């Protein structure tokens, strides 16, 4: 990794109403001691305590880089030093920017897995993001019967065996992005809403009546961040309106990489 000066993040225009910004970092590639020390200095007291509770260094490192990503990213949109951001959490543990006079209504969502972390940012709307490591060991497709909605299980099992693992992660990232945008986590039953995936069309969603939600209130975008890292973004925003996800590779307090755009539909 190229050594770069550690400096405040450059300012960045806030997302437009038809945009979500998705900031992407590969935590395992960030190894420069000066950067890691700077990240640790950014964390709040509770974050430092959580950082230290991880048993394995790998997980401490992922936490450190991903939480620095959140703070540095938010400081691109508002004149707040990265270490000064304060957060509140709802009853299910979802963090939100603690409201302060003069700040834009920034909403964010963080997800990280082996090899990748993402921070989605939107303005004034609920947003959720999920990234997964599709090459991880352990059960994947086998979990569908227990956690997916019946239409998803049927569609998954109808595919050739060699395509089922990829489709499993399509469903999983979309479902995680939705429950994170709702801010209720796994208190929402995963089998009471279903995604419908058709080539050339944006992901659709349907709900069991018990969910008390409307498919027309949501937009979803799938993003491929690498051969082993599928991701998805959910936004509480009327279907049919234009939506673009601006993906930006970065190293917090380091260099920004290339950006690319993914449009709903």
Q: What is the pLDDT of residue 265?
A: 65
Q: What is the DSSP string of 95-150?
A: EEEPP-TT---EEEEEEEETTEEEEEEEESS-EEEEE--TT-SS-SGGGHHHHS-H
Q: What is the pLDDT of residue 218?
A: 97
Q: What is the pLDDT of residue 127?
A: 97
Residue spans of the chain under pLDDT 50: 1-3
pTM of the model: 0.94
Q: What is the pLDDT of residue 7?
A: 67
Q: What is the pLDDT of residue 3?
A: 38
Domains defined for the chain, CATH in brackets = 19-29+105-263 (3.90.470.20)
Beta strand ranges found along 190-255 (DSSP E): 193-196, 204-207, 218-224, 230-236, 244-250
Residues 6 or more apart in contact with residue 154 via CB below 8 angstroms: none
Q: What is the pLDDT of residue 132?
A: 97
């Amino acid at each position: 990794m190229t050594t770069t000066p550690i400096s405040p993040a450059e300012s960045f225009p806030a997302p437009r109403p038809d945009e979500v910004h998705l900031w992407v970092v590969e935590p395992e590639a960030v190894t420069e001691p000066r950067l890691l020390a700077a990240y640790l200095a950014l964390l709040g007291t509770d974050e430092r305590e959580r950082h230290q509770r991880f048993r394995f260094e790998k997980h401490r490192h992922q936490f450190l880089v991903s939480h620095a990503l959140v703070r540095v990213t938010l400081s691109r949109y508002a004149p707040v030093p990265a270490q000064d951001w304060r957060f509140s959490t709802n009853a299910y543990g979802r963090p939100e920017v603690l409201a302060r006079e003069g700040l834009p209504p920034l909403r964010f969502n963080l997800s990280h897995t082996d090899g990748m972390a993402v921070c989605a940012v939107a303005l004034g709307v609920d947003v959720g993001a999920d990234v997964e490591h599709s090459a991880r060991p352990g059960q994947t497709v086998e979990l569908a019967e227990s956690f997916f909605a019946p239409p998803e299980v049927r569609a998954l099992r109808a595919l050739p065996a060699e395509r089922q693992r990829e489709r499993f992660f399509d469903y999983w990232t979309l479902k995680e992005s939705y429950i994170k945008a709702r801010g209720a986590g796994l208190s929402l039953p995963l089998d009471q809403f279903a995604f419908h995936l058709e080539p050339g069309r944006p992901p659709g969603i349907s709900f069991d009546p018990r969910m008390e939600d409307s498919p027309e209130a949501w937009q979803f975008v799938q993003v491929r961040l690498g051969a082993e890292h599928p991701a998805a973004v959910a936004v509480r925003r009327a279907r049919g309106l234009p939506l673009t996800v601006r993906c930006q590779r970065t190293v917090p307090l380091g260099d920004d990489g290339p950006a690319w755009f993914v449009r709903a539909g």
